[in-house]
Amino acid sequence: MSATQTHGHAADHHDDHGPAKGITRWLTTTNHKDIGTMYLVFSLVMFLIGGAMALVIRAELFVPGMQLVDPGFFNTMTTVHALIMVFGAVMPATVGLANWMIPLQIGAPDMALPRMNNFSFWLLVAAFSLLILSLFMPGGGPASGWTLYPPLVLQTGDALPLAIFAIHLAGASSIMGAINIIVTIMNLRAPGMTLLKMPLFPWTWLITAYLLIAVMPVFAGAVTMLLTDHFFGTTFFAAAGGGDPVLYQHIFWFFGHPEVYIMILPAFGIVSEIIPTFSRKPLFGYDAMVYATASIAFLSFIVWAHHMFTVGMPLAGEMFFMLSTMLIAVPTGVKVFNWTATMWKGSLSFETPMLFALAFLFLFTIGGFSGLMMAIAPVDFQYHDTYFIVAHFHYVLVPGAVFAIMAAVYYWMPKWTGHMYDTKLANIHFWMSAIFVNVLFFPQHFLGLAGMPRRIPDYSTQFADWNMVSSIGAFGFGLSQLLFVYIIWKCAKGGQKVSAEVWDGARVHGLEWTVPSPAPYHTFDEAPVVK
Amino acid sequence: MKMVKRAFVAGMALFGLASPAMAAWSDVNLRVGVTELSREIYGLHMLILWICVAIAVAVFGVMIYSIATFRKSKGAVPATFDHNTKAEVIWTVIPVLILVGMAIPAARTLVKIDDMRGSELTVKVTGYQWKWQYEYVDHGVSFFSTLARTSDEARQLDSGIRPESVENYLLEVDNPLVVPQGKKVRVLITANDVIHAWWVPDFGMKKDAIPGYINEMWFRADEPGIYRGQCAELCGRDHGFMPVVVEVKSQADFDAWLAAQQAARQAAAAPAAQTAAVVSPVDQVAAVRVAVAE
């Protein structure tokens, strides 16, 4: 079970060389660690670009009246902010973590399909180049919301084909990434590591990967139908030609709801790694955690129309989707209870990753409560398309998925770089993020309940106070993230050397803590044996 | 309940220190509204909110207790247990029971919302980029409803007009929908270009206006007054600028208003009929709008 560089030499392997020099290393690499790093850096860049767009939105909404941007450009900002954050920031960040950590956690030498791994990363770069290029097209960028509902989306100018091809490429990249993860997990686990001995992060990613393969083609199909409706005279979604605009929404949300779990399941996995380590206690209810994840994934396929309660579904449809959605609270509750029980009678310490994981635990749960509230169809007739929804999904995505990703970065960065990050700055980053994220999003619950619709560039004066509070939170949160960038840069450059184990007692929590820090370029050339 | 409510408001007020104008409960919560449905929906909302608050107090309480008590810095020695079947069964079954308790009243309200029978007035609402058309289908009256000029001037980029100086900024229209008090009004909702959504928070309901579909919903407003809402489905550049305003009048006032509308319509149509046999609908609408403006 010992680390591998020495083994590699002893066995006289020829592939134990270091990385290539210069830019070639990054263009042609097939190393899971390099590719993981590229994914993570890419997602950080996208997080900053998408965040800048969010600040344009919050700046315009700071006070009532139109001060900064045209309403059309405002719509472009909401649309592209969402597309970038979902497909460019959160998803690639979890893929990057998977690339780095899954081989290390299951004792594999690399991902199973390393060349495809490289290709799926560079496709993503192409995808987002196209998407950002679409902002500069005649007629402006995509402005129909990230859901791209027809007929509105068909009013997009030359940006439409660019955005759709961007989605195709990003989707192809995701599918390849998902295949790679499934093949890796199924074939390259260390001897003795049965599926039910596998850590939770690979587990949640395995399930996520199946979700991706199931729904990305559906989304690709939906946007392709948009493309043919726009350019080739089909009328899939045009009522005048016998088509159906609501059909698009059903297809989109059949993709869109599992997509929500594609973003949050890896976060569940991360939190399930971190809480036991810093509680110095095994994860409570491991089997239940795996089954709960699988149940959530299954349910995600049968709840999609709760995003469309107001389209005028028949009563039976509304009833079914209300009840199936409420059911999700059960496995999600099991997860929250199990994390809490993991801390119970543990020996807790509060390093930065643990702080982020704890913030996740509290704030994701708040997002879960508002989710349960909007599952109630009759009440959702009020909540639907208001800021209450905006508050809900930002609670599950920012202090949910994004905080989990930040927790993972702080948790594993010492393993990647061999240095401890600047703990003082990291704790400041945590507290600023945790406070401002609530200043930013909590008042949006009030705005939505009081009647403010989402996706509006200007609002009635009764909403002025909380919008101002929310905007202040947004700028505070945005600035805090510059600190995050600095901390990462500083940690990559140098810092206090860390041991292989990094965290007190972490060795028992995963194979990644048995390899040296920084993790050598090649690890587990010979598979460790798991008992 | 009132005490709890007051305590909650006070807590929210504390939270809102940054906001000196922190005002009423209605600024942070759903409105009770003025229809049977809106009140039921409000009741459901509060029921589920309080259930969530209760669960949150329990779950967050345990988390906070654990964080405060089982600290390494206090010398806590970790236990080694990693499951407890009894506890796991309990926290799977209890949530299911709570959910069933929520689902029953929710389903009941849902059935009521879906019951369109016995309507006393039918109004057809058509969404356009970016205005609403209201049509009293049995009375031959129809007109458009667009953002009031005062708001429209103030909302232009760098207009120099302070929104606070405009009465009902962005929530005022030229021609509101007028309906009688205490009557079951059935609303047929569709759109002519892209998808919109017609929403009046005080009536508790919103419904999408979709080209090619005719959706329906109903409301019965108990109190006369003016109720304001907005388009709730992104419909393009001026999505934020197509408010919904409904004026609820007593039956007598409504009848008088309707008769005046019909008369104005006939008066506008009569001279036109003398000069041309066929009157285009556009002209009719324009004529009615002039008449209404007077």
Across the interface, whether the CB atoms of A373 and B236 are under 8 A apart is answered no
B7 or A307, which is more confident? Answer: A307
The one-letter code for the residue type at A286 is: Y
- Quick one: which of A477, A461, A363 has its CA closest to A57? A477
Is A454 marked active-site?
yes
Min Cα–Cα distance to chain B from A466, Å = 7
- Of A315, A326, A381, Cβ closest to residue B206: A381
| Contact partners, residue A136, CB within 8 Å, separation at least 6 | none
- Residue B246 forms beta bridges with which residues? B177, B227
Peptide bond into A518 cis (omega under 30): yes
Is the per-residue pLDDT at B272 higher than 90? no
- Please list the ranges in chain A whose pLDDT falls under 70: 1-17
Write down the catalytic residue from A32, A33, A257, A415.
A257
- Helix, strand and coil in chain B, % to nearest 5: 45, 20, 30
Inter-residue contact A154 to A488 (CB < 8 Å): no
- Of B15, B21, B170, Cβ closest to residue A460: B170
- Of B21, B66, B158, Cβ closest to residue A344: B66
Q: Where are the alpha helices (DSSP H) in chain B?
A: 2-15, 36-69, 85-113, 149-154, 251-275, 281-293
Interface confidence (ipTM) of the complex: 0.90
Name the band, by pLDDT with cuts 50, 70 and 90, for residue B225. very high
Share of chain B above pLDDT 90, in %: 77
Is the per-residue pLDDT at B184 higher than 80? yes
Please report residues of B whose CB lies closer than 8 A to that of A365.
Answer: 56, 59-60
For chain A, how far is it from start to end, CA to CA, in angstroms?
10
- Residue in chain B lying closest to A355 (CA): B67
Across the interface, whether the CB atoms of B27 and A446 are under 8 A apart is answered yes
Across the interface, whether the CB atoms of A381 and B205 are under 8 A apart is answered yes
Is A58 marked active-site?
no
Domain ranges of chain B: 31-82, 121-293
For chain B, how far is it from start to end, CA to CA, in angstroms?
49
- Residue in chain B lying closest to A72 (CA): B237
Is A306 marked active-site?
yes
Chains A–B, number of C-beta pairs less than 8 Å apart = 299
Please report residues of A whose CB lies closer than 8 A to that of B27.
Answer: 446, 450, 462, 465-466
Q: Where are the alpha helices (DSSP H) in A107-199?
A: 114-133, 159-187
Q: How far apart are CA A20 and CA A25, in angstroms?
A: 5
- pLDDT at position B274 is 58
- pLDDT at position B233 is 97
Min Cα–Cα distance to chain B from A238, Å = 8
| Contact partners, residue A61, CB within 8 Å, separation at least 6 | A457, A458, A459, A467, A470, A471
- Residue in chain B lying closest to A139 (CA): B237
- pLDDT at position A506 is 86
Mutation for testing the B interface, residue in A339, A381, A387 having most B CBs under 10 Å: A381
Is the per-residue pLDDT at B289 higher than 50? no
Which CATH number does the domain B121-293 belong to among 2.60.40.420, 3.90.600.10, 3.40.640.10, 3.40.109.10?
A: 2.60.40.420
| Contact partners, residue B259, CB within 8 Å, separation at least 6 | none
- Of B41, B111, B163, Cβ closest to residue A379: B41
Q: How far apart are CA B132 and CA B243, in angstroms?
A: 8
A12 or B175, which is more confident? Answer: B175
| pLDDT tens digits along A149-161 | 999 999 999 999 9
- Quick one: which of A79, A77, A142, A54 has its CA closest to A402? A54
| pLDDT tens digits along A474-520 | 999 999 999 999 999 999 999 999 999 999 888 888 999 999 999 99
Inter-residue contact A323 to B52 (CB < 8 Å): no
Cβ neighbours, 10 Å, residue B255 = 12
- Residue in chain B lying closest to A376 (CA): B106
- pLDDT at position B25 is 74
- pLDDT at position B273 is 56
Inter-residue contact B187 to B151 (CB < 8 Å): no
Is A445 marked active-site?
no
- Residue in chain A lying closest to B113 (CA): A378
Across the interface, whether the CB atoms of B30 and A330 are under 8 A apart is answered no
Across the interface, whether the CB atoms of B62 and A344 are under 8 A apart is answered yes
Inter-residue contact A197 to A114 (CB < 8 Å): no
Is A174 marked active-site?
yes
- Residue in chain B lying closest to A64 (CA): B163
Across the interface, whether the CB atoms of A240 and B211 are under 8 A apart is answered yes
Pairing verdict, β B243-249 and B225-230:
antiparallel
Is A466 marked active-site?
no
- Residue in chain A lying closest to B197 (CA): A310
Min Cα–Cα distance to chain B from A118, Å = 38
Write down the catalytic residue from A37, A79, A94, A110.
A110
Mutation for testing the B interface, residue in A62, A76, A152, A278 having most B CBs under 10 Å: A152
Is A307 marked active-site?
yes
Please report residues of A whose CB lies closer than 8 A to that of B40.
Answer: 378
Ordered by where they begin, the domains of chain A are 5-15+27-514 (1.20.210.10)
Is A273 marked active-site?
no
Is A81 marked active-site?
yes
Provide the mean pLDDT of chain B: 87
| pLDDT tens digits along B102-150 | 999 999 999 999 999 999 999 999 999 999 999 999 999 999 999 999 9
Please report residues of B whose CB lies closer than 8 A to that of A284.
Answer: 81-84
Is A349 marked active-site?
no
Is A259 marked active-site?
yes
Identify the residue whose tokens are 């009293």.
Answer: B136
Min Cα–Cα distance to chain B from A300, Å = 18
Cβ neighbours, 10 Å, residue A496 = 12
Is A173 marked active-site?
yes
